[in-house]
Structure 1
Amino acid sequence: MIAKSNDTGYILCHPLTYSISYYQDTVAIAYKGQYVTFGKILSGLTAIDLSNNALDGDIPESVGRLVSLHILNMSHNTLNGRIPSQIGEMRELESLDLSWNELSGEIPEELTDLSFLGTLNLCGNKLDGRIPQSHQFATFENTSYEGNAGLCGPPLSKPCGNLSNPNEAQVNKSKDHVDVILFLFVGVGFGVGFTAGILLKWCKIGKWFRIV
């Protein structure tokens, strides 16, 4: 759980010698049954790389509070659970790499709010459902989603089909049923008409022979 403190400070940047305001957070982490508290963590970080660290468990929802982050890499761990929708609050994010974990569930629609996102890698997880298509997500290629057998829709070649929309499946089923009934009626009508025509023709021929 992340709890923001009221402490503020300034960083002196050399050689331009100008100051940047930052905030300080207090972070409590549960590690092997022990709670460890880290104080004075800068929330003004612009990049975090936690890849290849054998991390497991859920991605905390509090990650969405790192609103100044530009790069987040948590790839090649054993993280599970769902992708937190709170990541969509990290509006400065330009690169998100959550590949090669055990994440499941759908891709949150909130991630489409990341208007600066230029790099996305969700490969090698257990994600499913339709891939969001609005905003930046319309620009990503299938290489961002490989290794997720349950994902469907563009840019993947796998269509979502009727399974992703039960209502659409029901409508299509009803339409097919109506088409079959209509076809039967047309067929029966054609058969009756054809038979009647033959009989009428033979009646005329029989009448002609009787006259002769």
Structure 2
Amino acid sequence: MHGSLCVNSSKSSPFFSKIQIFDLSSNYFSGPLPVRYINSFKAIINLEKIGSTMSYMGVYAQRGSAFYTYSIGIVMKGQDMELVKIFTMWMIIDLSNNQFEGGIPKVIGKLNLLKGLNLSHNNLNGGIPTSIGNLTSLEWLDLSSNRLSGTIPNRLADLPFLSSFNVSQNQLHGQIPQGKQFNTFGNDSYEGNKGLCGFPVSKGCNSIEPAPPNVLEKDGSKSNISFGWKVVLIGYGCGVVFGMVVGYVVFQTGKPKWLVNLVEIQHEKKRRRKSKDGSRSNGRRRI
């Protein structure tokens, strides 16, 4: 099945006033979640509509007194299960594995008898409504593999019967609610949300990470200093080698005239100094 479940007509309500299990999973439905359908789930909203007896869903045969119970296959707490007998108290919504988009409607928070809610593997965005914290009968909640953002509402930690919780593969951030049922959920409930912190994920909420610009600045200054010393050493080494090569070539090809004259002048100066010093010492001896 495919297409949108949106209904624009205002005359088409209520739709499913007695429905208790709404399962449209693994189809190709698109568009926003059907808010008008959800608003019509009177049986999930008001216990008085169905009574409080622990009976099974089913139907009596037209002839005789045989009672046939309903059965259904659902994904419950992450596991494929077949419910052979369904209590009249069971209220389940499973819209997983479709192409629904948009936000999760706040009206879901009115379904106070809801036992299980599975909206996983869709294209839902926006935040997790705090109104889900009103679902005090909720036992499993699967919102995984969507594009949900924002934080996980702390009110969800007050759900007394919540035993399965999965928001993995979203874009959530902030601290994970602590205490009560949330202390029993593992890291796999939050995988794929890089912005989440706190137990049970390894990222702490109080960890301070250095800002990338400062790190780059420091690394750049260090690299510039090391690069400067390398240039100096290379230049010095090249100069020494070049000087030695030039000197070797000059002395192998012949003595240059300017160098010979310079050496002769220096030699003549030394000779004159020695002669002067010798004449002075002879004059002193004669006296």
Q: Same fold (TM over 0.5)?
A: yes
TM-score using structure 2 length: 0.44
Query: 1:6-61 CA deviation, whole Å, 9 max, x = no partner?
Result: 9xx989xxxxxxxxxx9xxxxxxxx979x995585343261110001100001001
1:70 to 2:115 alignment: yes
Q: Supply the AA of the counterpart residue of 2:197.
A: C
Partners in 2 of 1:106 and 1:120 — Cα distance? 15
The structural deviation recorded for 1:113 is 1.3
What does residue range 84-163 of structure 1 map to in structure 2 within 5 Å? 84-162=129-207
Q: Supply the AA of the counterpart residue of 1:114.
A: L
Partners in 1 of 2:144 and 2:18 — Cα distance? 35
Partners in 1 of 2:31 and 2:170 — Cα distance? 25
Q: In the alignment, which residue of structure 2 is the partner of 1:41?
A: 41
Q: 1:154 to 1:65 in 2, by over 3 A?
A: same
TM-score using structure 1 length: 0.59
Q: 1:50 to 1:82 in 2, by over 3 A?
A: same
4+ residue stretches of structure 1 with deviation over 3 A? Answer: 35-43
Q: State the number of aligned residues.
A: 140
For 2:155, what is the secondary structure of its paired residue? helix
Identity of aligned residues (%): 50
Q: 1:161 to 1:52 in 2, by over 3 A?
A: same
For 1:52, what is the secondary structure of its paired residue? coil
Structure 2, unaligned runs of 5 or more: 1-12, 21-29, 45-89, 209-287
Who wins on radius of gyration, i.e. which is larger?
Answer: 2
**RMSD of the alignment, in Å?**
3.2
The structural deviation recorded for 1:138 is 1.2
Whose strand fraction is larger, Structure 1's or Structure 2's? 1
What does residue range 190-209 of structure 1 map to in structure 2 within 5 Å? none
Partners in 2 of 1:56 and 1:114 — Cα distance? 26
Structure 1, unaligned runs of 5 or more: 12-21, 23-30, 164-212
Partners in 1 of 2:192 and 2:120 — Cα distance? 14
Partners in 1 of 2:41 and 2:135 — Cα distance? 17
